[in-house]
Amino acid sequence: MIRIAGGLGIKVLAFDVKQDEDAASRLGFQHVDMDELLSNSDIITLHVPGSEKTRNLISEEPDE
């Protein structure tokens, strides 16, 4: 996804609890915190496993 976006001239921001600076340099993206990602992104894609830990990852409302 990063390579496709970069090929289209899109600036890619990424949030990850385990930052990989080598990958960021190699693929051309910037690590940011979640607040910066949410406030500076027009499009957000999620690439996480579906689990209780990731449920409501970007939602302020709890799941009912």
Given this model, what pLDDT does residue 57 score? 82
Given this model, what pLDDT does residue 43 score? 92
CA distances to 4, 10, 17, 30 from 59, in Å: 27, 25, 17, 23
Q: Copy the structure tokens of residue 55.
A: 């449920």
CA distances to 18, 47, 48, 63 from 12, in Å: 17, 14, 17, 29
Tens digit of each residue's pLDDT (9 = 90 or more) over 9-64: 999 999 998 999 999 999 999 999 999 999 999 999 988 898 988 888 887 676 65
Q: Copy the structure tokens of residue 39.
A: 């406030």
Domain positions in the chain are: 1-58
Given this model, what pLDDT does residue 64 score? 58
Given this model, what pLDDT does residue 3 score? 92
Given this model, what pLDDT does residue 62 score? 63
